[in-house]
Chains A and B, each alone.
Chain A
Amino acid sequence: MAVLFDGVAFGLQLSLLAVGLTMIYGLGGVLNLAHGQFAAATAIIGARLIEVGFPVALSVISAVAISAGLAMAVDATLMRPVYRLHGEDRVLSSLLVTLGLAFAIDGLLIRFAPFTLLNLAVPGPAFVLLGVPMRRGVVVAALVAAVVLGVLVLVLRVSRWGRAVRSIIQDEEGATLCGIDPSRMRRSVFALSGALAGLVAVTQGLTAPIGATSGRDLTVLALIVTVVGGLGRVSGALVAGVLLGVVHAVASHTIGAVLTFVLLLLVAIAVILLRPSGIVRSAV
Chain B
Amino acid sequence: MAARRSEAWPLAVTVTALVGLPTLVGGSRYLMTLAISMLVVAGYAVAFNLVFGRTGQLFLCLGALAGVAAYGSVLLADVAGVPLPAAIAVGVACSGGIGGLFSWVAVRRRLGVIFLGIVTLAFSLVFTNLLVGGRALTGGETGLLVDATAGSWLRDRVPAYYVLLAVLVGYLLLDRWLERSWLGWAFRALKDDPVAAELAGVDVVRAKVVAGALGSAMLGLMGALFAVHDGFLSPTGFDFGEIDVRVLVVLAVGGVGSSLGPVVGAVVVTAVDELLRPLGQLRLTVYGALLIVVFLRFRQGLVPAARGLGRRFGARRARATP
Q: How far in angstroms is the closest Cβ of chain B from A26? A: 13
* Chain B residues near A92 (CB-CB < 8 A): 56, 58, 113
A268 and B118 contact, CB distance less than 8 A: yes
Bound complex: CA of A265 vs CA of B111, how far in Å?
A: 17
A223 touches B118 (CB 8 A): yes
- Checking B109, B280, B288, B296 against A104 with a beta-carbon cut-off of 8 angstroms, the contacting residue is B288
- Band of interface residues on A: 35 or more
Instruction: Identify A97's interface contact among B125, B245, B284, B295, CB under 8 A.
Output: B295
Q: Is the CB of A110 within 8 A of B284?
A: yes
Q: How far is the CB of B159 from chain A (nearest CB, A)?
A: 35
Nearest CB in chain B to that of A274: its residue: B109
* CB-contacts of B255-290 with A (<8 A): 279-290
Interface on chain B toward A: helix, strand, loop, or mixed SS?
helix
Among B58, B132, B279, B288, the residue within 8 A (CB) of A103 is B288
CB distance B288 to A265 under 8 Å? no
A102 to chain B: closest residue by CB: B288
Bound-complex Cα distance A101 to B109 (A): 30
> In chain A between 81 and 126, which residues have their CB closer than 8 angstroms to a CB of chain B?
81-82, 88, 91-93, 95-97, 99-108, 110-111, 114
Total residue contacts A-B, CB cutoff 8 A: 121
How many residues on chain B are close to A (CB under 8 Å)? Answer: 41
- Contacting pair A31 B114 (CB below 8 A): yes
> Are A276 and B280 interface neighbours, CB within 8 A?
no
Q: Are B118 and A258 in contact (CB under 8 A)?
A: no
Q: Give the B-binding residues of A (Cβ under 8 A).
A: 31, 78, 81-82, 88, 91-93, 95-97, 99-108, 110-111, 114, 216, 220, 223-224, 227, 231, 256, 258-259, 261-262, 265-266, 268-269, 272-273, 276
Listed from nearest, the 4 A-B pairs whose CB atoms lie closest are A104-B288, A107-B284, A100-B291, A107-B285
Task: Please list 15 pairs of residues, one from A and one from B, whose beta carbons are closer than 8 Å in the complex, sorted by A's number.
Answer: A81-B296, A82-B296, A92-B58, A100-B289, A100-B292, A103-B241, A104-B284, A104-B289, A111-B285, A220-B121, A227-B115, A258-B129, A258-B132, A268-B122, A272-B119
